[in-house]
Every structure is written in C-alpha cells, then in structure tokens.
Chains A and B, each alone.
Chain A
C-alpha cells in the first residue's frame, strides 16, 4: 500500500515561504508527476514527503499515518536523486544492497533480492563494477535498483533523467513508466519537463510559486486548464493568448487557443490575418510563427508539411470548440 495524503503542508525557510499550503491525495499505485518552473517548490515538496526536510506546518499521511515526525528511512519510501547519489566506493551490488544491509536483513535474502533487482534492470553483468565504470544510463539504473530493492510504499524521483542525453532520456522514460506499472508501486516524480509529465503521469500536479495550481490527469490539464498559468505551461508549443476586443467578444479578458487548434489557410477569408515570420519544417509537423497584427505573435501547428515561407500571407481560423476563456483574475471560465 502506498497512499499519500498532504494536508495543508507548509514549508518556509526563515521568512521565505516555499510551500504555501499544499493539499493533495495520491492514490495507491498511481504515478503522480510534480511539474512547474524552476523555484516553484516541486523539489522541496518531494523532500518534505521524503522526510529530508521538516515541514513548517500541516500533515503528511502515508497510509493514514501522520509521518511528519518520522525519520526518512522509517517512512517506507525510497528516492532516486537527480545526481544519482551512488556510493562511489561501493560496487553496484553494494549500492543496491546498502538499504537492505542497514535494515538488518539476512545475507542470503539480500543477495537474492539484489540479484532479482539487477535482473529486472539488466544490471546483472555489472554487479561487481564501481559506479565510475558505468555509463550515465547504467548509473541511473543502479539508482533505480537501489530504490526498488527495498520494496517501498512509494518511489520518489527527483528529476532523475535530467542528466541524460535526449535519446537516452526517452528510453529511460519508457523504462521507468513500464517498471512502475509492473511493480504497481506509487510513484511521485518531479520534473520541469512538461513532456515527461504528460507522457509518464497518471496525474499531474502543476506547481507555481509554492502553490498547487491544478491537479488532474494529463488530458484534463490539456483540455481544461484551471487558469492561465496551467494553460501556458502544459502543451508544446505554448498556447496562444489574445486579449482585448476579440476576447471581449467571447465574454472573457483573455482567450487562449493552442497552436494545433488554429487552422491555417493561405489567403483565407475568415479568422485572423497575418504574415509568416518564421516557418519550421519538421516533416511530420510545420510550426508557423505568424505576426497577426493586433493579435500579436501567434504560433500555429500544422500536422504534415505545409509549403509556406516567411512573408507569406495566411489566415488562422481558431476551432470555436477549442477556445479557452479566462477572466481578469486569470481563472478559466467554463460555459
């Protein structure tokens, strides 16, 4: 079991409030991603759950028990650090076994568990190597091995893939997701990369300035962002925002349209007119950065190749069903 509940969790360092009251319910077995810009408090929130920092206020419940005064190791969680934090003087076997050794488990059982974990992660040939003799991806796997071998109630991942190169990151992303589903263990994963968040999460927590902006499934966040911040943060390229007269016509202060919901027409009649300033041709997609006069710079995404070049006149027609409306406090207006 690994159900984690946060109730009004607060953290301040002196006069600086890092976490301003977080309430959250993480279901057993789910994969939850904390995402947000740098300094939004996502890592601090993870460290509070881990017990590496003490809360200033509120309660953290793991399977119904308040653990704020429980030391990290007794919370039954394991953590994968951004820097991997492997013990450099120990072999891979030593690294994975360390937690079990500290728990006073019998040697035979430790060996059995370590070997099982190594097999799961394809680390068996490297068990007797030192971390410095491993590649980045292998080190990452050792760090994960160290976490899974203890059979924790939940895994805590602190930006574990950010030190890997792009190709390896995609591969490890898949492996982590697959492993988590296979083990069925609750996972909390911190990242600033919204693609990682969208692809890995069952549920995403969007954090900004120490506050939870929205908690929901990736598609909920994409389709029904709670406010301007979430709307701008989730989705790539970013949502287009238009203010002024056009927004007022829709009964909103700001309206937002995602680049993929703007239909691009050459010399079209309706919609918003503009001039292409940059066109990015990826083959599978075409990204157009269009100077649309009063509406400002707009981004449009076309699936497939579109033969447009800087200087070409286009009109962009927003999908009326996909226009997001926000009031003057930035909150979403739902019809």
Chain B
C-alpha cells in the first residue's frame, strides 16, 4: 500500500516539475516559433502553434538591417572582459576576507552588497556625465568598466562563500609545507575552489551578457552589445513581432548554448556546500 502511494506521488511530482519547467520555458519557445513566422502570423488570433508557414526571412532581414556579428562581438568582449577583470579583483579580495577576517570583514561584505540595493538609475546621470567628460561613452572599455564594478560585489560574495567552505587545516598544511601566500593561492586554494570559481564565472558571464540598463544608456552603436541590438527592434513605427523575435533569438542563443552545456557545473556550483 505504502509503495503504491510513493509511486503515485512520484508520478505527480514528476508531472508537476515538468509543468513548471514548461511554463518557464514557454516564452522562449514562443519567441523562437514567432521568429519563423511571417509578421501577419506572428500576431494572428487565434495563434497558430506549429502549423504555419515556416520562413527564415526574418533572420535575413535582421542581419541586413543591422550587423548581428558586430553586436555579438561587442557582447562577448563586454561580458567576457568585465567578468575576467571582476574575477581577478575578487579572488584575492574574497581570499583575504575568508582566511584572515578582521572585525570589519562582515561590515565590508555588507557594505558591498548594499551597493547592489541602490537602483542604478539613481546614479545614471552622474555616471553618464563622468563618462561623457572622460570620453568613455559608447566605448567597450567604458562598458567593461561599469559592468565589472556593478557585478563585483556579487562575485566577491559568491567566492567568499566558496572559500569559506575550504577547511583551514589544508591551508595551514600548505603553510607548514613552505608555500608562500601566492603559491598557496595558485597551487592549493584555486584548484580546490574550481567548482565555485567556474559557477561564479558562468553566472557573472550570464549577468553581464543580459545586462541592459547600462549598456542601453551608455552605448549607441560602436560599442553596442546585443541588448541594444534587440532594443532597436522596438521602434516608433510599431512592433515587428517576428523580427523582434528573430533578433532576440539570435541574442540569447550563445548564452543559452553556454548555459545548456554548463548546467551541471552551474547547479553543482550553486549548491556547493549545501550537500556534502
């Protein structure tokens, strides 16, 4: 009897999980489908799910109207660059806070996080003016800089939590073995923290790739990443759903593929320490 209940419960919870998964995935699926429709079919009511006239003309139009690869390259440089620099700053910062904490360490961490509580729009005007004065507007350098600073608190927090999980004994053993701080970092700490480092890197990459507020406000064309590319399709002449969908599909494709291949690493990294 008990066994039957468990089986039924298993079936129900599996079905529920699939349902929730599908609900979350549905907008993406709908967007991909819409990108293969004609503009008329894209907002037809009742909508057609699979039986429509499949076409790739939207993709051709999108690439003709704006250079996808130019924006994609910008996205890669901005997301990749800001992530790498943030990691380089965050590793030693998190390391020192995790392994030689002082009375103020908690306050510093909280202060860093508090900067994320402020709405970015609150500092948009001063930052815009600074960028204009120093000539960083619409430059990749400027965007790398601002996204790196914006994500740094999260990166430091995540790394701090991972480093905290590493037993202090092992670092002391390394010290007894004659490792200097630098070598301890290179040979012992970093390799042990690889799962944590990888998931922090991936998460930050995704955050930076999707970041729209600063990229939209601080770039126009030269440095514009894919977020700007998508936004350019919601034009004053009206929404072109099919083309907008095609542009969006192109914009999220790289990160979706990356996420798909690294999902195991991501999940493992985010639950690191929770299950031992």
Contacts and interface: CB of A to CB of B under 8 A. Distances in A.
A283 B214 CA distance: 81
Contacts of A48: none
A188 to B, nearest CB: 13
Nearest to B169: A85
Contacts of A99: 176-178
Contacts of B173: 79, 81, 85-87, 146
A301 B187 CA distance: 55
Nearest to B172: A52
A150 B177 CA distance: 8
A83 interface: yes
Contact of B176 (A72, A87, A89): A72
Interface string A86-116: 1111000000001100110000000000000
B110 interface: no
Interface in A50-106: 50, 52, 71-74, 77-79, 81-83, 85-89, 98-99, 102-103
Interface size for chain A: under 10, 10 to 19, 20 to 34, or 35 or more residues?
20 to 34
A231 to B, nearest CB: 34
A52 B99 CA distance: 13
B192 A85 contact: no
Contacts of B175: 52, 71-73
Contacts of B191: 89
Contacts of A150: 177
Interface size for chain B: under 10, 10 to 19, 20 to 34, or 35 or more residues?
10 to 19
A195 B230 CA distance: 74
Contact of A103 (B169, B178, B187): B178
Contacts of B62: none
A81 B169 CA distance: 7
Given A98-B187, A102-B183, A85 B178 contact: no
Given A83-B167, A85-B169, A78 B176 contact: yes
A81 B167 CA distance: 12
The DSSP consensus for interface residues of chain B is helix
B178 A81 contact: no
Contacts of A73: 175-179
B250 to A, nearest CB: 39
Contacts, number: 58
Nearest to B191: A89
A89 B174 CA distance: 13
Contacts of A102: 177-179, 183
B258 to A, nearest CB: 25
A74 B172 CA distance: 14
Interface in B157-200: 167, 169-170, 172-179, 183, 187-188, 191-192, 194
Interface centre among A71, A85, A103 (most CB of B within 10 A): A85
Contact of A98 (B169, B172, B174, B194): B174
Interface string B185-227: 0011001101000000000000000000000000000000000
Contact of A81 (B172, B183, B187, B194): B172
A83 B169 contact: yes
Contacts of B169: 81-83, 85
Given A87-B188, A88-B192, A102-B183, A79 B176 contact: yes
Contact of B170 (A77, A85, A103): A85
A87 B192 CA distance: 8
Contacts of A72: 172, 175-176
Nearest to B170: A85
Contacts of A82: 169
Contacts of A78: 176-177
Interface of A: 50, 52, 71-74, 77-79, 81-83, 85-89, 98-99, 102-103, 146, 150
24 contacts: A52-B172, A71-B175, A73-B177, A78-B177, A79-B172, A79-B173, A79-B176, A81-B169, A85-B169, A85-B173, A86-B170, A86-B173, A87-B173, A87-B188, A89-B191, A89-B194, A98-B179, A99-B176, A99-B177, A102-B178, A102-B179, A102-B183, A103-B178, A150-B177
